[in-house]
């Protein structure tokens, strides 16, 4: 109902996930051992203007850029995978609040994502949205599931809302429309 909380045990599904988890742990240990003013933001799917996404990183921007430039899009799996999306402007606001509250929140972990209210199926919902923006059905080819792909990932953002007063303000539809206009 709320998504995956910060207390959920970390289980890395890829070398990329391992590198993110390692960074998390370094920041927590530096705060705990040395008293440094660090906190961890576990970010979900961040997108927005000035993102030059590629197939493996920045898939929202990659799909938009591919649509505008009439490049091929490959959907791995069944296209029903669900992610929560967060516009970069909302992420920047979270960082600003984090810096303002670093003394009290040093050593804390926060999920920073779109949460359950800002989810999107990567193709069954995003494909029709792109078609609306482009004015035609966007073609895609299909590939097998990739190792490490998660079918559903939604962050529980209640902790950051309660402790920092933050929540997303830009819906995926609005943010993707802005991204599409910028790419065009």
User: Which tokens sit at 37?
Assistant: 């003013």
Q: Flag whether pLDDT at 7 surpasses 80.
A: yes
| Banded pLDDT at 10 (limits 50, 70, 90) | confident
Looking at residue 104, what is its pLDDT?
A: 95
CA atoms within 13 A on the CB side of 103: 1
Cα dihedral sign, 154-87-43-161: negative
Label residues 130-153 b or e (16+ Cβ within 10 Å = b).
Answer: beebeeeebebeeeeeeeeeeeeb
Catalytic residue among 8, 16, 26, 95: 16
Residue in the structure block whose two tokens are 């705990």: 32
8: annotated active-site residue: no
In Å, what is the CA distance from 182 to each residue of 13, 68, 87, 120, 175? 33, 10, 14, 21, 11
Q: Flag whether pLDDT at 13 surpasses 80.
A: no
Strand, coil or helix: 52: coil
| Banded pLDDT at 164 (limits 50, 70, 90) | very high
| Banded pLDDT at 48 (limits 50, 70, 90) | very high
pLDDT tens digits, one per residue of 114-146: 999 999 999 999 999 999 999 999 999 999 999
Other CB atoms closer than 10 Å to residue 104's CB: what's the count? Answer: 9
Q: Flag whether pLDDT at 79 surpasses 80.
A: yes
Strand, coil or helix: 165: coil
| Banded pLDDT at 12 (limits 50, 70, 90) | confident
* Helix ranges (DSSP H) in the chain: 15-34, 59-68, 88-100, 102-105, 126-134, 158-164, 172-183
Identify which has the larger pLDDT, 149 or 4: 4
């Amino acid at each position: 109902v709320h998504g995956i909380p910060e207390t959920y045990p970390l289980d890395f599904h890829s070398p990329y996930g391992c590198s993110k988890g390692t960074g998390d742990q370094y920041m927590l240990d530096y705060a705990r051992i040395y008293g440094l003013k660090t906190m961890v933001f576990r970010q979900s799917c961040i997108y927005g203007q000035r993102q030059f996404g590629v197939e493996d990183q920045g898939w929202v921007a990659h799909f938009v850029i591919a649509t505008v430039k009439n490049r091929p899009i490959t959907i791995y799996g069944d296209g029903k995978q669900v992610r929560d999306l967060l516009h970069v402007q909302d992420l920047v606001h979270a960082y600003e609040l984090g810096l303002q509250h670093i003394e009290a929140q040093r050593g804390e972990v926060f999920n920073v994502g779109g949460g359950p209210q800002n989810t999107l199926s990567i193709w069954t919902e995003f494909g029709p949205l792109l078609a609306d923006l482009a004015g035609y059905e966007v073609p895609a080819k299909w590939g097998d599931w990739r190792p490490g792909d998660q079918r559903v990932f939604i962050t529980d953002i209640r902790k950051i809302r309660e402790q920092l007063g933050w929540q997303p303000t830009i819906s995926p539809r609005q943010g993707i429309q802005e991204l599409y206009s910028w790419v065009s």
